[in-house]
């Protein structure tokens, strides 16, 4: 079964979470949930609930880096098939590095 590294996942379809093993880096989780709840972002609640239900698993990563940096440094082509994101700046960076991605809008 393919693996999926998730960044910000606005508009993600439930079937993606059911069909794939999905993971979120701890630094991304912190940005999405902790930062998002402070700002009142709906995405934060969705991600928090998906983690609580076991649909999305948290993976530890190097501390002291932003979510985007953590993804760029931790992506391992032998472990993950692609990155899912809706972050336009991250999409450009991933494309420059030839990392497969799935764009969620």
Cβ neighbours of residue 67 under 8 Å, at least 6 residues apart? 7, 8, 25, 27, 28, 30, 31, 32
Which token pair is 88? 């336009």
**How many degrees, rounded to 5, is the angle at CA 8 between CA 5 and CA 14?**
75
Cβ neighbours of residue 19 under 8 Å, at least 6 residues apart? none
Q: Which domains does the chain have, with CATH numbers?
A: 3-103 (3.40.50.1010)
User: What does the pLDDT look like over 47-105, one tens digit per residue?
Assistant: 899 899 998 888 877 667 787 888 877 776 557 778 877 778 888 888 888 887 766 65
Q: Looking at residue 26, what is its pLDDT?
A: 86
pTM equals 0.70
């Amino acid at each position: 079964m393919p693996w999926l590294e998730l960044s910000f996942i606005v508009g993600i379809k439930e079937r993606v979470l059911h069909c794939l093993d999905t993971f979120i880096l701890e630094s991304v989780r912190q940005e999405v949930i902790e930062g998002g709840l402070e700002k009142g972002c709906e995405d934060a609640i969705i991600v928090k609930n998906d983690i609580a239900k076991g649909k999305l698993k948290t993976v530890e990563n190097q501390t002291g880096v932003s979510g985007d940096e953590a993804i760029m440094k931790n992506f391992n082509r032998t472990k993950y098939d692609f990155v899912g994101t809706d972050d336009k700046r991250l999409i450009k960076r991933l494309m420059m590095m030839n990392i497969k991605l799935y764009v969620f809008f």
